[in-house]
Structure 1
């Protein structure tokens, strides 16, 4: 006898539906996000204030090393806004990817005991990262305003597109690596190595023209560098917060040429990463309980 189709709005129990199932489990997602935040800051004196302290210390180190000692603050002005706008984009990406990669293994007791969409665990990493991202954006806006920045609609659009690229790319790769990490725990160490050097492969600490000039005889390497979705995302953040405070001379050297074309490519690659990551995750999630 053929199996009857489920009524509209319902699905077979225990059947993985990928990211499509997240909307129907918003309450569980909220619980997971609160759990992650509570566990992370348990017995912590500063608590959520660490989301200010960590990027603040990172910013000061980079600013004095790259800006003062190596003189980039004279080449890119205002360098503080340029640096911090790129930093928060990369920090958002690295936090999502790192936490999402470990999310299934760290939540093994829940995965083994009850059925719920496994995608909830990597997705909860996105919302935890956004909780940390929000105060950093507030600090960036205040610093940019103090530097003479004037917001504009194009800049607002650049910020939104940049955030979408970072979220889609990081979640897509996070889903992929989280699924593979269940069987091969070396993956999280590989991801740690990638995250360690990620800041150097995007124009966060320097202008992209440095790469263009250094690789003048290898234009294909420059195009490969520009094809990195995080490069486009960082430059979109620069367009959103730094452009309005920079001089005309700095604007020419500080933002990638044909930025919106590169942003379109980055969006396409990030969407592809999200689709592939979700499909791989759905396929491998069938054996998570046995592997854990």
Structure 2
């Protein structure tokens, strides 16, 4: 007599991000699909990954580096040496964050037709958006590396590891917030507008275009500590430490306790936000199909 398992299994129960790991093949397909859809009918295609940050860099460099005097020159000793490297190393990281979070927060609504037809791990969509943004990030990183080499870049192992930590901080943060706002956007479409404002603030609330010393001089030690707790700020400073500082004479100061304190704090905060986003997503995803 054949024995049957009487234990009932509830269909469609999410396993969270563990489902994303188990569905790696689906994740790969989604990333490929997103890239094809985005550049369908485009003349430049993936070259937009170079053009858009290039134009952004030129605008900011001319406005801030030349007109506002942030570029150090023989007639302006108060600026930053190799300001072009300083600026671009921050721009590519903040662009990765803004693209990843912006697309992840819209990913569930944007794939509503697919979600209503079949069941698959819904976390795949925000995570795929972060992966697509990473695909766009690495060509920009290659341009930065070439510019650094021409500027006499000579990093040590600690600086390279700091850059990896900075990228990890941003990736965790973007994934966590993408899960959070991706789920909230299904129920409250105002979430998209809130994310747009958050991204605008993130660009200017981190030392992408200006030096951290300018912030410390204006706000004092207490508020500077609050400013430092922003994971994006920490990540941008790690990129400056890894890519910009080795192209200078080394006399430029790095934020106090960047390696010993702030990088671990940034990782912990980003991991906590990832956990928060994951728990919120799992709680809300049960009614995605109905709400969409």
User: 1:50-102: CA deviations, max 9, x gaps?
Assistant: 00000000000010111000110111111011111111111111111100000
Q: 1:23 aligns with which of 21, 37, 40?
A: 21
Q: 2:130 aligns with which of 97, 105, 126?
A: 126
Q: 1:165 aligns with which of 164, 169, 180?
A: 169
Aligned to 2:180: 176
Structure 1 residue ranges (4+ consecutive) displaced by more than 2 angstroms after TM superposition: 2-6
1:182-261 to 2 correspondence within 5 Å?
Answer: 182-216=186-220, 219-249=221-251, 251-252=252-253, 255-260=254-259, 261=261
Aligned to 2:276: 276
User: 1:117-168: CA deviations, max 9, x gaps?
Assistant: 0000000011100110010000000001111111320111011100110000
User: 1:23-65: CA deviations, max 9, x gaps?
Assistant: 1111111111111111110100000000000000000001011
Q: How many residues are treated as equivalent by the alignment?
A: 281
Counterpart secondary structure, 2:201: helix
Q: CA deviation at 1:5?
A: 7.9
Answer yes or no: is 1:147 the counterpart of 2:145: no
Counterpart secondary structure, 2:154: coil
Counterpart secondary structure, 1:215: helix
TM norm structure 2: 0.94
CA distance in 2 between counterparts of 1:283 and 1:138 reads 40
| Unaligned ranges ≥5, structure 2 | 73-78
Q: CA deviation at 1:247?
A: 2.0
Q: CA deviation at 1:223?
A: 1.1
CA distance in 2 between counterparts of 1:100 and 1:108 reads 13
TM norm structure 1: 0.94
Counterpart secondary structure, 1:139: helix
Answer yes or no: is 1:266 the counterpart of 2:269: no
